[in-house]
């Protein structure tokens, strides 16, 4: 039996159609799954990029936090109250700028991890320039002092003096032995 050219062509075309149809049937069944997997892969790649960015951001924050903590005063963990020392420092800065603190009342200490914060409520009296100089020096202390509440009223008509109260939040750390000479020296200045 001899296969003619025409029969050979018909056989090849038939085989190609059968293989093409079979391939289409197999691929079509997997196409939806492939699209879903491709979308999932794209989403996972985006999640990985975001996670890497978060890790980098966290490393930057930790580095910045460590840098800021170097400037904080360090007190001994055994020391019961740090408020007298902090109030003395605030009073020293106030006297330097002729701001008269008539009353200061410390509030309770608030721990946040390794950091501690103590608020001091101060009643004061001064000229505007003295108040501005005092606040400027507190601002230059970095993260150690933060004035979150400031109330100002004039003392009297045309006296040129102001009075009010402010709440100064003092940030510090506590460590056994508690000495940070650089930060303690800066606090004295």
Does residue 81 sit in the same domain as residue 154? yes
Please say whether the beta carbons of 177 and 78 come within 8 A.
Answer: no
Spatial separation of the C-alpha atoms in residues 87 and 82, rounded to whole Å: 9
Average pLDDT over residues 82-102: 90
Does residue 51 sit in the same domain as residue 93? no
3-state helix, strand, coil in the chain (%, to 5): 55, 30, 20
Number of domains making up the chain: 2
Tokens 């005092």 correspond to 134
User: 69, 88, 113: which is the final residue of a domain?
Assistant: 69
Q: Which secondary structure element, helix H or strand E, spans residue 47, and what is its range?
A: helix 5-69
Does residue 114 sit in the same domain as residue 57? no
Tokens 């402010």 correspond to 166
Domain ranges, residue 171: 73-188
Whole-number Cα distances in Å, 32 to 9, 23, 46, 177: 35, 15, 21, 66
Phi-psi bin for 164: left (phi > 0), alpha (psi -120 to 50), beta?
Answer: left
pLDDT digits (tens, 9 = 90+) for 16-48: 999 988 888 888 878 888 888 999 999 999 999
- Among 22-26, 51-55, 153-157, 174-178, whose mean pLDDT is lowest? 174-178
CATH number reported for the structural domain that contains residue 153 in this entry: 3.30.70.60
Spatial separation of the C-alpha atoms in residues 150 and 165, rounded to whole Å: 6
- Among candidates 140, 146, 150, which has minimal Cα distance to 118? 146
Does residue 36 sit in the same domain as residue 84? no
Does residue 61 sit in the same domain as residue 112? no
Whole-number Cα distances in Å, 179 to 23, 147, 182: 76, 25, 9
Q: Using 50, 70 and 90 to split pLDDT, how confident is the model at 163?
A: very high
Does residue 120 sit in the same domain as residue 161? yes
User: 69, 102, 125: which is the final residue of a domain?
Assistant: 69
Does residue 77 sit in the same domain as residue 36? no
Does residue 1 sit in the same domain as residue 57? yes
Q: Using 50, 70 and 90 to split pLDDT, how confident is the model at 178?
A: low
């Amino acid at each position: 039996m001899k296969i003619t050219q025409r029969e050979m062509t018909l056989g090849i075309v038939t085989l190609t159609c059968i293989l093409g149809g079979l391939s289409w049937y197999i691929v079509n069944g997997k196409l939806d799954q492939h699209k879903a997997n491709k979308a999932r892969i794209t989403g996972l790649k985006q999640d990985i990029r975001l996670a890497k960015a978060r890790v980098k951001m966290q490393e930057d924050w930790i580095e910045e936090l460590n840098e800021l903590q170097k400037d904080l005063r360090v007190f001994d963990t055994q020391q019961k109250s740090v408020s007298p020392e902090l109030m003395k420092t605030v009073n020293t800065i106030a006297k330097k700028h002729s701001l008269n603190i008539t009353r200061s009342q410390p509030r309770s200490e608030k721990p946040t991890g390794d950091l501690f914060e103590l608020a001091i409520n101060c009643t004061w009296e001064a000229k505007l320039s003295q108040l501005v100089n005092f606040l400027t020096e507190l601002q230059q202390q970095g993260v150690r002092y933060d004035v979150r509440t400031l109330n100002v009223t004039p003392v009297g008509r045309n006296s040129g003096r102001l009075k009010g109260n402010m709440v100064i939040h003092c940030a510090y750390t506590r460590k056994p032995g508690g000495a940070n000479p650089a930060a303690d020296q800066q606090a004295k200045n």
